[in-house]
Amino acid sequence: MSSLLTRDEYQALARTLALPANAVIGGKSTPAIGGGTFETINPATGEVLAKIASCRKEDVDLAVEKARRAFDTGGWSRSHPSERKRVIRRLARLMEKHAHELAVLETLESGKPIYDVETIDIPEAIHCLEWHAEATDKIYGQTSPSGDNVVSTIVRQPLGVVACVLPWNFPILMLAWKLGPALSTGNSVIVKPAEQTNMTALRIAELAHEAGIPEGVLQIVTGPGEVTGKELGLHPDIDMVAFTGSTEIGRKFLEYSAKSNLKRIVLECGGKNPCIVLDDAECLDVVAQHATQAVFWNMGENCSSNSRLIVHKNIKDKLLEQILVKLRDWPLGDPLDPGNRLGAIVSKEQFDKIMGYISKGKSEGAKIVAGGNAQAFGKGYFIEPTIFDNVTAGMTIAREEIFGPVLSIISVANADEAVRVANDTSYGLAASIFTANGGRAQRMARDIRAGTVTINCYGEGDVTTPFGGFKLSGFGGRDKSLHAHDQYTELKTVWTDISDPKQTQTLD
Ligand code: NAD
Protein backbone atom coordinates (compact mmCIF):
# COMPACT_ATOMS: atom_id res chain seq x y z
CA MET A 1 0.00 0.00 0.00
CA SER A 2 1.35 3.42 -0.90
CA SER A 3 1.47 6.03 1.85
CA LEU A 4 -1.24 8.66 2.02
CA LEU A 5 -0.69 12.17 0.68
CA THR A 6 -1.91 15.33 2.39
CA ARG A 7 -5.14 17.09 1.46
CA ASP A 8 -3.16 19.81 -0.34
CA GLU A 9 -1.23 17.23 -2.32
CA TYR A 10 -4.42 15.40 -3.33
CA GLN A 11 -6.05 18.68 -4.34
CA ALA A 12 -2.98 19.65 -6.39
CA LEU A 13 -3.12 16.26 -8.12
CA ALA A 14 -6.84 16.74 -8.80
CA ARG A 15 -6.09 20.07 -10.54
CA THR A 16 -3.41 18.67 -12.81
CA LEU A 17 -4.61 15.15 -13.66
CA ALA A 18 -5.75 14.35 -17.18
CA LEU A 19 -9.35 13.16 -16.87
CA PRO A 20 -10.03 10.19 -19.16
CA ALA A 21 -13.30 10.70 -21.04
CA ASN A 22 -13.17 8.49 -24.14
CA ALA A 23 -14.32 4.91 -24.43
CA VAL A 24 -11.64 2.23 -24.95
CA ILE A 25 -12.45 0.11 -28.00
CA GLY A 26 -10.05 -2.10 -29.94
CA GLY A 27 -7.14 -1.03 -27.75
CA LYS A 28 -7.67 2.67 -28.49
CA SER A 29 -9.09 5.60 -26.59
CA THR A 30 -11.98 6.71 -28.77
CA PRO A 31 -14.98 9.07 -28.70
CA ALA A 32 -18.43 7.60 -29.34
CA ILE A 33 -19.02 7.05 -33.08
CA GLY A 34 -21.99 9.43 -33.01
CA GLY A 35 -19.96 12.00 -31.03
CA GLY A 36 -22.42 11.99 -28.10
CA THR A 37 -21.28 12.76 -24.56
CA PHE A 38 -22.74 13.02 -21.08
CA GLU A 39 -21.53 14.95 -18.05
CA THR A 40 -19.86 13.42 -15.04
CA ILE A 41 -20.16 15.42 -11.82
CA ASN A 42 -17.99 15.86 -8.75
CA PRO A 43 -20.59 15.17 -6.02
CA ALA A 44 -18.46 16.98 -3.42
CA THR A 45 -18.79 20.27 -5.32
CA GLY A 46 -21.64 19.76 -7.77
CA GLU A 47 -19.27 20.81 -10.59
CA VAL A 48 -19.01 19.13 -13.98
CA LEU A 49 -15.76 17.19 -14.19
CA ALA A 50 -15.76 15.99 -17.79
CA LYS A 51 -17.86 15.00 -20.78
CA ILE A 52 -17.73 11.26 -21.20
CA ALA A 53 -18.29 9.36 -24.46
CA SER A 54 -21.89 8.21 -24.70
CA CYS A 55 -21.74 4.85 -26.46
CA ARG A 56 -24.73 3.62 -28.43
CA LYS A 57 -25.57 0.52 -30.47
CA GLU A 58 -22.88 1.12 -33.11
CA ASP A 59 -20.16 1.44 -30.44
CA VAL A 60 -21.32 -1.69 -28.62
CA ASP A 61 -21.46 -3.62 -31.94
CA LEU A 62 -17.92 -2.53 -32.74
CA ALA A 63 -16.63 -3.50 -29.30
CA VAL A 64 -18.30 -6.92 -29.54
CA GLU A 65 -16.86 -7.48 -33.01
CA LYS A 66 -13.36 -6.64 -31.74
CA ALA A 67 -13.84 -8.80 -28.64
CA ARG A 68 -15.00 -11.78 -30.69
CA ARG A 69 -12.13 -11.42 -33.12
CA ALA A 70 -9.64 -11.28 -30.26
CA PHE A 71 -11.22 -14.35 -28.72
CA ASP A 72 -11.24 -16.35 -31.95
CA THR A 73 -7.67 -15.51 -32.89
CA GLY A 74 -6.60 -16.87 -29.50
CA GLY A 75 -3.92 -14.31 -28.61
CA TRP A 76 -5.38 -14.22 -25.10
CA SER A 77 -7.95 -17.03 -24.92
CA ARG A 78 -5.41 -19.67 -25.96
CA SER A 79 -2.28 -18.07 -24.58
CA HIS A 80 -0.38 -20.10 -22.02
CA PRO A 81 -2.02 -19.63 -18.59
CA SER A 82 1.29 -18.46 -17.16
CA GLU A 83 1.40 -15.72 -19.80
CA ARG A 84 -2.05 -14.47 -18.77
CA LYS A 85 -0.86 -14.58 -15.19
CA ARG A 86 2.17 -12.45 -16.06
CA VAL A 87 0.12 -9.79 -17.84
CA ILE A 88 -2.53 -9.50 -15.10
CA ARG A 89 0.18 -9.27 -12.47
CA ARG A 90 1.87 -6.52 -14.51
CA LEU A 91 -1.46 -4.66 -14.52
CA ALA A 92 -1.62 -5.00 -10.72
CA ARG A 93 1.92 -3.53 -10.45
CA LEU A 94 0.95 -0.60 -12.69
CA MET A 95 -2.13 0.06 -10.55
CA GLU A 96 0.11 0.12 -7.51
CA LYS A 97 2.45 2.57 -9.26
CA HIS A 98 -0.48 4.84 -10.20
CA ALA A 99 -2.40 4.37 -6.94
CA HIS A 100 -2.56 8.08 -5.99
CA GLU A 101 -3.77 9.06 -9.44
CA LEU A 102 -6.42 6.30 -9.45
CA ALA A 103 -7.50 7.26 -5.93
CA VAL A 104 -8.01 10.90 -6.91
CA LEU A 105 -10.00 9.97 -10.03
CA GLU A 106 -12.16 7.60 -7.96
CA THR A 107 -12.79 10.16 -5.23
CA LEU A 108 -13.51 13.02 -7.64
CA GLU A 109 -16.28 11.12 -9.39
CA SER A 110 -17.77 9.07 -6.54
CA GLY A 111 -17.37 11.30 -3.46
CA LYS A 112 -15.77 8.37 -1.59
CA PRO A 113 -13.30 9.35 1.14
CA ILE A 114 -9.81 9.13 -0.31
CA TYR A 115 -8.68 7.47 2.91
CA ASP A 116 -10.88 4.45 2.10
CA VAL A 117 -9.92 4.39 -1.56
CA GLU A 118 -6.20 4.39 -0.74
CA THR A 119 -6.34 2.00 2.22
CA ILE A 120 -9.14 -0.39 1.23
CA ASP A 121 -10.41 -0.22 -2.35
CA ILE A 122 -7.14 0.00 -4.29
CA PRO A 123 -5.08 -2.46 -2.17
CA GLU A 124 -7.98 -4.97 -2.22
CA ALA A 125 -8.46 -4.55 -5.96
CA ILE A 126 -4.74 -5.16 -6.56
CA HIS A 127 -4.77 -8.18 -4.26
CA CYS A 128 -7.85 -9.52 -6.04
CA LEU A 129 -6.21 -9.24 -9.47
CA GLU A 130 -3.04 -10.87 -8.19
CA TRP A 131 -4.93 -13.71 -6.52
CA HIS A 132 -6.90 -14.57 -9.64
CA ALA A 133 -3.77 -14.16 -11.77
CA GLU A 134 -1.96 -16.65 -9.55
CA ALA A 135 -4.83 -19.12 -9.88
CA THR A 136 -4.58 -19.04 -13.69
CA ASP A 137 -1.96 -21.78 -13.95
CA LYS A 138 -3.04 -23.77 -10.90
CA ILE A 139 -6.50 -25.00 -11.82
CA TYR A 140 -6.78 -28.56 -13.13
CA GLY A 141 -9.41 -30.32 -15.21
CA GLN A 142 -10.93 -33.73 -14.35
CA THR A 143 -11.27 -37.22 -15.76
CA SER A 144 -14.42 -39.24 -15.19
CA PRO A 145 -14.65 -42.77 -13.71
CA SER A 146 -16.05 -44.17 -16.96
CA GLY A 147 -14.18 -47.47 -17.19
CA ASP A 148 -11.12 -48.89 -18.88
CA ASN A 149 -12.28 -48.41 -22.46
CA VAL A 150 -12.80 -44.70 -22.21
CA VAL A 151 -10.74 -41.64 -21.52
CA SER A 152 -13.13 -38.88 -20.63
CA THR A 153 -11.78 -35.47 -19.72
CA ILE A 154 -13.90 -32.72 -18.27
CA VAL A 155 -12.39 -29.37 -19.06
CA ARG A 156 -13.34 -25.77 -18.51
CA GLN A 157 -13.13 -23.40 -21.43
CA PRO A 158 -13.54 -19.63 -21.47
CA LEU A 159 -17.05 -18.51 -22.41
CA GLY A 160 -16.01 -16.03 -25.09
CA VAL A 161 -17.22 -12.43 -24.86
CA VAL A 162 -18.18 -11.35 -21.34
CA ALA A 163 -19.80 -8.02 -20.51
CA CYS A 164 -19.36 -6.63 -17.00
CA VAL A 165 -21.94 -4.02 -15.98
CA LEU A 166 -20.84 -2.15 -12.87
CA PRO A 167 -22.32 -0.01 -10.08
CA TRP A 168 -20.99 3.34 -8.84
CA ASN A 169 -20.34 2.54 -5.18
CA PHE A 170 -17.04 0.60 -5.49
CA PRO A 171 -15.95 1.33 -9.07
CA ILE A 172 -12.37 0.01 -8.86
CA LEU A 173 -13.09 -2.89 -6.53
CA MET A 174 -16.12 -4.21 -8.44
CA LEU A 175 -14.10 -3.92 -11.64
CA ALA A 176 -11.34 -6.05 -10.09
CA TRP A 177 -13.81 -8.63 -8.75
CA LYS A 178 -15.02 -9.21 -12.32
CA LEU A 179 -11.82 -8.68 -14.31
CA GLY A 180 -9.67 -10.99 -12.17
CA PRO A 181 -11.53 -14.24 -12.91
CA ALA A 182 -12.95 -13.21 -16.33
CA LEU A 183 -9.55 -12.34 -17.79
CA SER A 184 -7.56 -15.08 -16.11
CA THR A 185 -9.88 -17.73 -17.60
CA GLY A 186 -9.22 -16.32 -21.09
CA ASN A 187 -12.33 -14.35 -21.96
CA SER A 188 -12.59 -11.10 -23.91
CA VAL A 189 -14.18 -8.58 -21.57
CA ILE A 190 -16.29 -5.48 -22.26
CA VAL A 191 -16.92 -3.29 -19.22
CA LYS A 192 -19.72 -0.80 -18.82
CA PRO A 193 -19.09 1.36 -15.76
CA ALA A 194 -21.98 3.13 -14.03
CA GLU A 195 -22.58 6.51 -15.67
CA GLN A 196 -21.62 8.33 -12.45
CA THR A 197 -18.16 6.71 -12.21
CA ASN A 198 -16.23 6.01 -15.41
CA MET A 199 -12.74 7.40 -15.05
CA THR A 200 -10.93 4.74 -13.07
CA ALA A 201 -12.17 1.96 -15.37
CA LEU A 202 -10.97 4.00 -18.38
CA ARG A 203 -7.57 4.60 -16.81
CA ILE A 204 -7.19 0.96 -15.72
CA ALA A 205 -7.94 -0.15 -19.29
CA GLU A 206 -5.09 2.08 -20.49
CA LEU A 207 -2.81 0.52 -17.88
CA ALA A 208 -3.95 -2.95 -18.96
CA HIS A 209 -2.78 -2.23 -22.50
CA GLU A 210 0.52 -0.96 -21.16
CA ALA A 211 0.75 -4.25 -19.25
CA GLY A 212 0.32 -6.23 -22.47
CA ILE A 213 -3.40 -7.04 -22.73
CA PRO A 214 -4.01 -7.64 -26.45
CA GLU A 215 -6.31 -5.37 -28.45
CA GLY A 216 -9.99 -6.28 -28.05
CA VAL A 217 -9.50 -8.27 -24.82
CA LEU A 218 -10.42 -5.45 -22.43
CA GLN A 219 -12.69 -2.69 -23.68
CA ILE A 220 -14.73 -0.03 -21.90
CA VAL A 221 -18.00 1.27 -23.29
CA THR A 222 -19.34 4.23 -21.34
CA GLY A 223 -22.90 5.47 -21.46
CA PRO A 224 -26.37 5.44 -19.93
CA GLY A 225 -27.66 2.14 -18.61
CA GLU A 226 -30.87 2.18 -20.61
CA VAL A 227 -28.86 2.59 -23.84
CA THR A 228 -25.35 1.13 -23.53
CA GLY A 229 -26.24 -1.39 -20.80
CA LYS A 230 -29.34 -2.52 -22.63
CA GLU A 231 -27.44 -3.00 -25.91
CA LEU A 232 -24.98 -5.25 -24.08
CA GLY A 233 -27.80 -7.19 -22.44
CA LEU A 234 -29.58 -7.80 -25.77
CA HIS A 235 -26.51 -8.40 -27.92
CA PRO A 236 -26.67 -11.76 -29.70
CA ASP A 237 -22.89 -12.28 -29.68
CA ILE A 238 -22.19 -11.70 -25.98
CA ASP A 239 -21.93 -14.96 -24.02
CA MET A 240 -22.34 -13.67 -20.50
CA VAL A 241 -23.24 -10.57 -18.51
CA ALA A 242 -21.78 -10.26 -15.01
CA PHE A 243 -23.82 -7.53 -13.35
CA THR A 244 -23.55 -5.74 -10.03
CA GLY A 245 -26.25 -3.24 -9.20
CA SER A 246 -29.85 -2.97 -8.10
CA THR A 247 -32.27 -5.88 -8.13
CA GLU A 248 -34.59 -3.88 -10.38
CA ILE A 249 -31.99 -3.59 -13.15
CA GLY A 250 -30.69 -7.11 -12.50
CA ARG A 251 -34.14 -8.44 -13.42
CA LYS A 252 -33.90 -6.57 -16.73
CA PHE A 253 -30.75 -8.50 -17.63
CA LEU A 254 -32.62 -11.78 -17.18
CA GLU A 255 -35.25 -10.42 -19.57
CA TYR A 256 -32.60 -9.26 -22.06
CA SER A 257 -31.07 -12.72 -21.98
CA ALA A 258 -34.42 -14.45 -22.53
CA LYS A 259 -35.18 -12.11 -25.43
CA SER A 260 -31.79 -12.58 -27.12
CA ASN A 261 -29.39 -15.52 -27.02
CA LEU A 262 -29.85 -17.00 -23.50
CA LYS A 263 -26.50 -15.53 -22.51
CA ARG A 264 -25.39 -16.51 -19.02
CA ILE A 265 -26.39 -13.94 -16.40
CA VAL A 266 -24.79 -13.53 -12.99
CA LEU A 267 -26.33 -10.91 -10.71
CA GLU A 268 -24.93 -9.35 -7.54
CA CYS A 269 -27.70 -7.11 -6.25
CA GLY A 270 -28.85 -5.22 -3.20
CA GLY A 271 -29.20 -6.03 0.48
CA LYS A 272 -30.97 -5.05 3.69
CA ASN A 273 -28.52 -6.74 5.95
CA PRO A 274 -29.00 -7.47 9.65
CA CYS A 275 -26.47 -7.08 12.43
CA ILE A 276 -27.68 -9.14 15.41
CA VAL A 277 -26.33 -8.38 18.88
CA LEU A 278 -27.42 -10.73 21.69
CA ASP A 279 -27.29 -9.88 25.39
CA ASP A 280 -24.23 -12.09 26.00
CA ALA A 281 -22.11 -10.27 23.38
CA GLU A 282 -18.69 -9.43 24.77
CA CYS A 283 -17.00 -5.99 24.72
CA LEU A 284 -19.84 -3.76 23.59
CA ASP A 285 -17.37 -1.03 22.64
CA VAL A 286 -15.83 -3.40 20.07
CA VAL A 287 -19.29 -4.45 18.89
CA ALA A 288 -20.15 -0.75 18.49
CA GLN A 289 -17.04 -0.22 16.41
CA HIS A 290 -18.05 -3.05 14.05
CA ALA A 291 -21.66 -1.88 13.94
CA THR A 292 -20.71 1.68 12.94
CA GLN A 293 -18.21 0.45 10.35
CA ALA A 294 -20.89 -1.91 9.02
CA VAL A 295 -23.37 0.86 8.30
CA PHE A 296 -21.33 4.04 7.76
CA TRP A 297 -18.43 2.70 5.70
CA ASN A 298 -18.67 4.27 2.23
CA MET A 299 -21.53 6.49 3.53
CA GLY A 300 -23.69 3.37 3.66
CA GLU A 301 -23.54 3.14 -0.14
CA ASN A 302 -22.65 -0.48 0.26
CA CYS A 303 -24.60 -3.59 -0.71
CA SER A 304 -23.40 -5.39 2.42
CA SER A 305 -24.18 -2.46 4.72
CA ASN A 306 -25.64 -3.73 8.00
CA SER A 307 -28.41 -1.17 7.96
CA ARG A 308 -30.60 -3.05 10.49
CA LEU A 309 -29.21 -3.37 14.00
CA ILE A 310 -31.28 -6.11 15.68
CA VAL A 311 -30.34 -5.96 19.33
CA HIS A 312 -31.46 -7.68 22.53
CA LYS A 313 -33.62 -5.22 24.49
CA ASN A 314 -31.58 -5.70 27.70
CA ILE A 315 -28.43 -4.21 26.16
CA LYS A 316 -29.88 -1.87 23.56
CA ASP A 317 -29.34 1.36 25.52
CA LYS A 318 -25.78 0.44 26.49
CA LEU A 319 -24.87 -0.47 22.92
CA LEU A 320 -26.43 2.70 21.55
CA GLU A 321 -24.39 4.74 24.02
CA GLN A 322 -21.21 3.07 22.73
CA ILE A 323 -22.23 3.61 19.10
CA LEU A 324 -22.73 7.32 19.75
CA VAL A 325 -19.20 7.43 21.18
CA LYS A 326 -17.81 5.67 18.07
CA LEU A 327 -19.59 8.15 15.81
CA ARG A 328 -16.95 10.70 16.79
CA ASP A 329 -14.51 8.65 14.69
CA TRP A 330 -16.51 9.38 11.54
CA PRO A 331 -15.72 12.96 10.47
CA LEU A 332 -17.67 14.13 7.43
CA GLY A 333 -16.32 16.52 4.82
CA ASP A 334 -14.12 17.03 1.75
CA PRO A 335 -13.49 13.51 0.42
CA LEU A 336 -10.00 14.56 -0.77
CA ASP A 337 -9.05 15.21 2.85
CA PRO A 338 -7.56 11.95 4.18
CA GLY A 339 -8.70 12.94 7.68
CA ASN A 340 -12.35 12.38 6.72
CA ARG A 341 -14.09 9.01 6.95
CA LEU A 342 -17.34 10.17 5.32
CA GLY A 343 -17.44 11.93 1.97
CA ALA A 344 -20.15 13.02 -0.43
CA ILE A 345 -23.19 11.04 -1.58
CA VAL A 346 -22.62 10.03 -5.19
CA SER A 347 -25.32 12.15 -6.86
CA LYS A 348 -28.19 14.56 -6.29
CA GLU A 349 -30.58 11.73 -7.13
CA GLN A 350 -29.13 9.43 -4.46
CA PHE A 351 -28.95 12.33 -1.97
CA ASP A 352 -32.68 13.07 -2.49
CA LYS A 353 -33.53 9.38 -2.16
CA ILE A 354 -31.72 9.09 1.18
CA MET A 355 -33.20 12.32 2.56
CA GLY A 356 -36.61 10.96 1.49
CA TYR A 357 -36.03 7.82 3.59
CA ILE A 358 -34.98 9.95 6.57
CA SER A 359 -38.28 11.91 6.32
CA LYS A 360 -40.19 8.65 5.98
CA GLY A 361 -38.50 7.23 9.10
CA LYS A 362 -39.54 10.30 11.09
CA SER A 363 -43.11 10.28 9.78
CA GLU A 364 -43.55 6.56 10.49
CA GLY A 365 -42.63 7.14 14.14
CA ALA A 366 -38.98 6.10 14.48
CA LYS A 367 -36.88 8.25 16.79
CA ILE A 368 -33.79 10.07 15.47
CA VAL A 369 -30.93 9.75 17.95
CA ALA A 370 -28.13 11.05 15.73
CA GLY A 371 -27.80 13.00 12.49
CA GLY A 372 -30.76 13.24 10.15
CA ASN A 373 -29.58 16.35 8.32
CA ALA A 374 -27.88 17.33 5.12
CA GLN A 375 -24.60 19.18 5.59
CA ALA A 376 -23.67 22.13 3.46
CA PHE A 377 -20.08 22.05 2.18
CA GLY A 378 -20.37 24.25 -0.89
CA LYS A 379 -22.74 22.71 -3.42
CA GLY A 380 -21.89 19.10 -2.58
CA TYR A 381 -24.20 16.33 -1.43
CA PHE A 382 -23.39 15.47 2.18
CA ILE A 383 -25.55 13.72 4.77
CA GLU A 384 -24.77 13.25 8.47
CA PRO A 385 -24.50 9.69 9.76
CA THR A 386 -28.02 9.05 10.95
CA ILE A 387 -29.38 6.66 13.60
CA PHE A 388 -33.02 5.80 14.17
CA ASP A 389 -34.11 4.08 17.38
CA ASN A 390 -37.51 2.46 18.08
CA VAL A 391 -37.74 1.06 14.56
CA THR A 392 -40.22 -1.75 14.02
CA ALA A 393 -39.82 -4.46 11.42
CA GLY A 394 -42.71 -3.17 9.28
CA MET A 395 -41.38 0.37 8.82
CA THR A 396 -40.14 1.42 5.38
CA ILE A 397 -36.64 2.18 6.70
CA ALA A 398 -36.44 -1.38 8.05
CA ARG A 399 -37.54 -2.96 4.77
CA GLU A 400 -36.08 -1.03 1.84
CA GLU A 401 -32.45 -0.68 0.83
CA ILE A 402 -31.60 2.96 1.60
CA PHE A 403 -28.01 2.84 0.33
CA GLY A 404 -27.03 5.72 2.57
CA PRO A 405 -25.67 6.46 6.09
CA VAL A 406 -28.83 5.45 7.95
CA LEU A 407 -28.99 2.88 10.75
CA SER A 408 -32.29 1.43 12.00
CA ILE A 409 -32.29 -0.07 15.50
CA ILE A 410 -34.83 -2.82 16.19
CA SER A 411 -35.12 -4.32 19.71
CA VAL A 412 -35.87 -8.03 20.17
CA ALA A 413 -36.46 -10.29 23.18
CA ASN A 414 -34.34 -13.34 22.26
CA ALA A 415 -32.23 -15.10 19.64
CA ASP A 416 -35.18 -16.78 17.91
CA GLU A 417 -36.93 -13.48 17.41
CA ALA A 418 -33.66 -11.96 16.16
CA VAL A 419 -33.34 -14.64 13.46
CA ARG A 420 -37.01 -14.22 12.51
CA VAL A 421 -36.59 -10.46 12.08
CA ALA A 422 -33.27 -10.91 10.28
CA ASN A 423 -34.92 -13.21 7.72
CA ASP A 424 -37.97 -10.98 7.33
CA THR A 425 -36.64 -9.36 4.16
CA SER A 426 -36.73 -10.09 0.46
CA TYR A 427 -32.93 -9.75 0.36
CA GLY A 428 -30.23 -12.18 1.57
CA LEU A 429 -26.76 -10.83 0.94
CA ALA A 430 -24.97 -10.64 4.30
CA ALA A 431 -25.50 -10.74 8.07
CA SER A 432 -23.45 -10.35 11.26
CA ILE A 433 -24.01 -12.01 14.65
CA PHE A 434 -22.48 -10.96 17.96
CA THR A 435 -22.73 -13.44 20.84
CA ALA A 436 -20.33 -15.19 23.22
CA ASN A 437 -22.13 -18.50 22.70
CA GLY A 438 -20.24 -20.21 19.86
CA GLY A 439 -22.73 -23.03 19.30
CA ARG A 440 -25.66 -20.64 19.17
CA ALA A 441 -23.76 -18.39 16.74
CA GLN A 442 -23.25 -21.37 14.40
CA ARG A 443 -26.92 -22.38 14.61
CA MET A 444 -28.00 -18.84 13.84
CA ALA A 445 -25.54 -18.64 10.93
CA ARG A 446 -27.10 -21.83 9.56
CA ASP A 447 -30.63 -20.43 9.89
CA ILE A 448 -30.03 -16.97 8.42
CA ARG A 449 -30.71 -16.91 4.70
CA ALA A 450 -27.76 -14.85 3.46
CA GLY A 451 -24.70 -15.48 1.30
CA THR A 452 -22.16 -14.36 3.92
CA VAL A 453 -22.62 -14.52 7.69
CA THR A 454 -19.91 -13.10 9.94
CA ILE A 455 -19.62 -13.95 13.63
CA ASN A 456 -18.34 -11.44 16.18
CA CYS A 457 -17.16 -9.12 13.42
CA TYR A 458 -18.41 -7.25 10.39
CA GLY A 459 -16.97 -8.12 6.99
CA GLU A 460 -17.35 -9.64 3.56
CA GLY A 461 -14.80 -12.43 3.92
CA ASP A 462 -11.76 -12.04 1.69
CA VAL A 463 -10.80 -12.80 -1.90
CA THR A 464 -10.71 -16.54 -1.13
CA THR A 465 -14.39 -16.65 -0.08
CA PRO A 466 -17.37 -16.48 -2.45
CA PHE A 467 -19.56 -13.39 -2.20
CA GLY A 468 -23.15 -13.16 -3.39
CA GLY A 469 -26.71 -13.35 -2.27
CA PHE A 470 -29.75 -15.48 -1.54
CA LYS A 471 -33.23 -14.36 -2.61
CA LEU A 472 -33.37 -10.94 -4.36
CA SER A 473 -29.71 -10.26 -3.56
CA GLY A 474 -28.28 -12.39 -6.30
CA PHE A 475 -28.64 -14.87 -9.10
CA GLY A 476 -26.53 -17.40 -10.91
CA GLY A 477 -23.13 -17.22 -9.27
CA ARG A 478 -20.66 -15.60 -6.94
CA ASP A 479 -17.87 -13.03 -7.07
CA LYS A 480 -14.44 -13.83 -5.58
CA SER A 481 -12.86 -17.23 -4.83
CA LEU A 482 -12.36 -20.08 -7.31
CA HIS A 483 -16.15 -20.31 -7.69
CA ALA A 484 -15.86 -17.09 -9.67
CA HIS A 485 -13.48 -18.83 -12.07
CA ASP A 486 -16.09 -21.50 -12.69
CA GLN A 487 -18.76 -19.02 -13.64
CA TYR A 488 -16.65 -17.45 -16.40
CA THR A 489 -16.08 -20.84 -18.03
CA GLU A 490 -18.13 -23.49 -19.81
CA LEU A 491 -17.81 -27.17 -18.95
CA LYS A 492 -16.90 -29.52 -21.76
CA THR A 493 -16.67 -33.31 -21.84
CA VAL A 494 -14.26 -34.88 -24.31
CA TRP A 495 -15.11 -38.57 -24.54
CA THR A 496 -12.65 -40.93 -26.26
CA ASP A 497 -13.29 -44.59 -26.85
CA ILE A 498 -9.92 -46.29 -26.43
CA SER A 499 -11.06 -49.90 -26.65
CA ASP A 500 -8.86 -52.07 -28.83
CA PRO A 501 -10.73 -52.42 -32.16
CA LYS A 502 -9.23 -55.89 -32.65
CA GLN A 503 -10.91 -57.13 -29.52
CA THR A 504 -14.26 -55.48 -30.16
CA GLN A 505 -16.95 -58.08 -30.90
CA THR A 506 -19.01 -57.29 -33.98
CA LEU A 507 -22.71 -57.88 -33.67
CA ASP A 508 -24.43 -59.97 -36.36
P1 NAD B 1 -28.12 0.29 -10.91
O2 NAD B 1 -28.84 -1.00 -10.95
O3 NAD B 1 -28.88 1.53 -11.06
O4 NAD B 1 -27.00 0.33 -12.05
C5 NAD B 1 -26.05 -0.68 -12.20
C6 NAD B 1 -25.56 -0.70 -13.62
O7 NAD B 1 -26.65 -1.03 -14.49
C8 NAD B 1 -25.01 0.65 -14.11
O9 NAD B 1 -23.88 0.42 -14.90
C10 NAD B 1 -26.15 1.20 -14.93
O11 NAD B 1 -25.71 2.09 -15.93
C12 NAD B 1 -26.73 -0.06 -15.54
N13 NAD B 1 -28.13 0.10 -15.95
C14 NAD B 1 -29.04 0.96 -15.42
N15 NAD B 1 -30.21 0.83 -16.07
C16 NAD B 1 -30.05 -0.13 -17.01
C17 NAD B 1 -30.89 -0.72 -17.98
N18 NAD B 1 -32.17 -0.35 -18.12
N19 NAD B 1 -30.38 -1.69 -18.77
C20 NAD B 1 -29.10 -2.08 -18.65
N21 NAD B 1 -28.25 -1.55 -17.77
C22 NAD B 1 -28.72 -0.59 -16.94
O23 NAD B 1 -27.28 0.24 -9.55
P24 NAD B 1 -26.38 1.37 -8.92
O25 NAD B 1 -27.32 2.43 -8.46
O26 NAD B 1 -25.25 1.73 -9.81
O27 NAD B 1 -25.74 0.60 -7.66
C28 NAD B 1 -26.41 0.45 -6.49
C29 NAD B 1 -26.97 -0.96 -6.35
O30 NAD B 1 -25.93 -1.91 -6.54
C31 NAD B 1 -27.50 -1.22 -4.96
O32 NAD B 1 -28.73 -1.90 -5.01
C33 NAD B 1 -26.43 -2.13 -4.35
O34 NAD B 1 -26.89 -2.95 -3.31
C35 NAD B 1 -25.96 -2.90 -5.53
N36 NAD B 1 -24.61 -3.46 -5.29
C37 NAD B 1 -24.48 -4.80 -5.08
C38 NAD B 1 -23.22 -5.36 -4.84
C39 NAD B 1 -23.06 -6.85 -4.63
O40 NAD B 1 -21.93 -7.35 -4.73
N41 NAD B 1 -24.11 -7.59 -4.34
C42 NAD B 1 -22.10 -4.55 -4.82
C43 NAD B 1 -22.26 -3.18 -5.04
C44 NAD B 1 -23.53 -2.65 -5.28
55 an active-site residue?
no
User: In whole angstroms, what is the distance from residue 70 CA to residue 88 CA?
Assistant: 17
Task: Report how far ligand 1's centroid is from the alpha carbon of 392 (Å).
Answer: 28
Sheet holding 218-220, edge to edge: 28-30, 23-25, 218-220, 188-192, 161-165, 240-244, 264-268, 474-475
Q: How many angstroms is it from 141 CA to the middle of ligand 1? A: 34
- Average pLDDT of the chain is 97
pLDDT (0 to 100) of residue 317: 98
β-strand pairing of 142-143 with 274-277: unpaired
Residue nearest to atom 16 of ligand 1 (CA): 225
Residue nearest atom 8 of ligand 1, based on CA coordinates: 194
Q: Does the CB atom of residue 230 touch ligand 1 within 6 A?
A: yes
| Atom 34 of ligand 1, nearest CA residue | 270
Atom of ligand 1 nearest to the CA of 479: 40
Query: 272: Cβ below 6 Å to ligand 1?
Result: no
Is there a contact between 159 and 264 (Cβ–Cβ < 8 Å)? yes
Ligand 1 center to 39 CA (angstroms)? 19
Query: Which tens digits make up the pLDDT trace of 339-397?
Result: 999 999 999 999 999 999 999 999 999 999 999 999 978 889 999 999 999 999 999 99
| Whether residue 249 has its Cβ less than 6 Å from ligand 1 | yes
Angle, alpha carbons 447-450-454 (nearest 5°):
85
Active site residue 164: no
- Cβ(264) – ligand 1 distance below 6 Å: no
CB of 165 closer than 8 Å to CB of 73: no
Tell which one of 124, 169, 460 to mutate to probe ligand 1, the residue whose CB is within 8 A of the most ligand atoms. 169
What's the CA-to-centroid distance between 267 and ligand 1, angstroms?
Answer: 10
Q: Could you tell me the distance, in angstroms and rounded to a whole number, from the CA of residue 271 to the centre of ligand 1? A: 12
Ligand 1 binding pocket mutation candidate from 243, 256, 269, 347 (most atoms within 8 A of CB): 269
Q: Is the CB of residue 252 below 6 angstroms from any atom belonging to ligand 1?
A: yes
Task: List the chain residues with pLDDT less than 70.
Answer: 1-2, 504-508
- Give the angle subtended at the CA of 443 by the CAs of 438 and 446, to the nearest 5°: 125
Q: Write down the pLDDT at residue 304.
A: 97
Determine the 3-state secondary structure of 186 from DSSP: coil
Ligand 1 closest atom vs CA 195:
11
Give yes or no for residue 477 CB within 6 A of ligand 1. Answer: no
Which neighbouring-strand residues pair with 37? 53
Q: CB count, 10 Å around CB of 143? A: 12
Catalytic residue among 215, 268, 301, 401: 268
pLDDT at 248: 97
Beta strands in 319-434, from DSSP E residues, in sequence order = 367-370, 374-375, 382-383, 386-389, 406-412, 427-428, 430-434
pTM value? 0.97
In three-state secondary structure terms, 409 is: strand
For ligand 1, whether the C-beta of 347 sits within 6 Å is: no
- Ligand 1, atom 42, residue with closest C-alpha: 303
Residue among 55, 128, 164, 303 flagged as catalytic: 303
| Segment holding 309, helix H or strand E | strand 308-312
CA distances to 175, 178, 302, 383 from 170, rounded to whole Å, are 8, 12, 8, 19
Indicate whether residue 165 lines ligand 1 (CB < 6 A).
yes
